[in-house]
Amino acid sequence: MKRMIITVAVVALSASSALAGNIAVSVAPAGQFTTVMVETMQKRAAELNQPIQVEYIERDANKQQSQIQNFIADKVDALIVVPVETSASPPITKMAADAGIPLIYVNAGPSDLDQLGPKAAFVGSDEIQAGVLETEEICRILKERGKTKDAGILIMEGILAQEAAVKRTKAIHDVIAKPECNFMKVIDEQPANWDPVKAQDLMTNWITAGYKPVAVIANNDEMAVGAINSMKAAGWDREDVVVGGIDANDEALHYMKNGDLDVTVFQDAVGQGAGAVDTAVKLAKGEKVKSPVWIPFELVTPANVDKYINRK
């Protein structure tokens, strides 16, 4: 994969808000949410007259560690990292700590969240909350439609090495274990790696296998859209299956307005991106920050979808 480097160049620094050197960002491309989050980082840095360097990395934990070693060798003032694998964060945390460079994880929580130390922090959203909001609303809709007996559901998971997929899926199981939602029964659950094409293929395989779910619960919107496209291609009546996703991206909101998507959960890419930059600047200036910095999720349904359209 060709590495893309985006740098926000500035001419003058504000002594009151900016640092003497760069903030370096390591992130893997991952759809609209990541794009908005990175653009917000750049915008916030520009507002602060703060140099920021964004490097995209393949979804390879070893390559990300090498990339961060290069950042450290360049003596950047702070690091912002979206870990490509949750379990791969401890070596990154140690490298940054040994170099005395502030480290901010954003969006994807590190596995060593409770051991980050005073010069590191996490800015993100509680992934359990996202899965709970999504699944509880699907449970409510199914009860409203009278589908409360052995209601079969299919679960589309993200990349299993990432915290978001693990916690969102755990939340689904936690909700359907509750007495008020235990009529929901898992037919199957498989990863589609956040990808709409893989999700469409997976849904097609499930349809071919003869599965008849009353709901499809996806870990993100892209997979929910892929599932919807597969059902449409198979000629299924969309009223027969409740579909939920997470992130409230533009395409998903369009599908919801058209009556195809029933539930999504707004994840604040702008809040996470700006929060990461603000936290990086504070830590690099020697200020104390509270960690984790939580950015709340918000339930989105056809009743309130207009509030979220064109909101970033």
Is it the case that residue 295 has pLDDT exceeding 80?
yes
pLDDT at 37: 95
pLDDT at 1: 35
pLDDT at 9: 33
pLDDT at 162: 86
Cβ contact 220:196 at 8 Å: no
Average pLDDT over residues 258-286: 96
When pLDDT is cut at 50, 70 and 90, the band that residue 19 belongs to is low
Secondary structure, 3-state, the chain: CCCCEEEECCCCCCCCCCCCCCEEEEECCCHHHHHHHHHHHHHHHHHCCCCEEEEECCCCHHHHHHHHHHHHHCCCCEEEECCCCHHHHHHHHHHHHHHCCCEEEECCCCCCHHHCCCCEEEEECCHHHHHHHHHHHHHHHHHHCCCCCCEEEEEEECCCCCHHHHHHHHHHHHHHCCCCCCCEEEEEEEECCCCHHHHHHHHHHHHHCCCCCCEEEECCHHHHHHHHHHHHHCCCCHHHCEEECCECCHHHHHHHHCCCCCEEEECCHHHHHHHHHHHHHHHHCCCCCCCCEECCCEEECCCCHHHCCCCC
Q: What burial class does residue 303 get, using C-beta atoms within 10 Å of its C-beta: 0-12 exposed, 13-18 middle, 19+ buried?
A: exposed
When pLDDT is cut at 50, 70 and 90, the band that residue 4 belongs to is very low
Task: Supply the mean pLDDT for the chain.
Answer: 91
Is it the case that residue 312 has pLDDT exceeding 70?
no
| 309 vs 132: which has the higher pLDDT | 132
pLDDT tens, position by position, 102-159: 999 999 889 999 999 999 999 999 999 999 999 999 999 999 999 999 999 999 999 9
Q: Taken in order 126, 181, 138, 150, is the CA torsion positive or negative?
A: positive
pLDDT tens, position by position, 76-98: 999 999 999 888 999 999 999 99
Average pLDDT over residues 49-73: 94
Is it the case that residue 20 has pLDDT exceeding 60?
no
Is it the case that residue 10 has pLDDT exceeding 50?
no
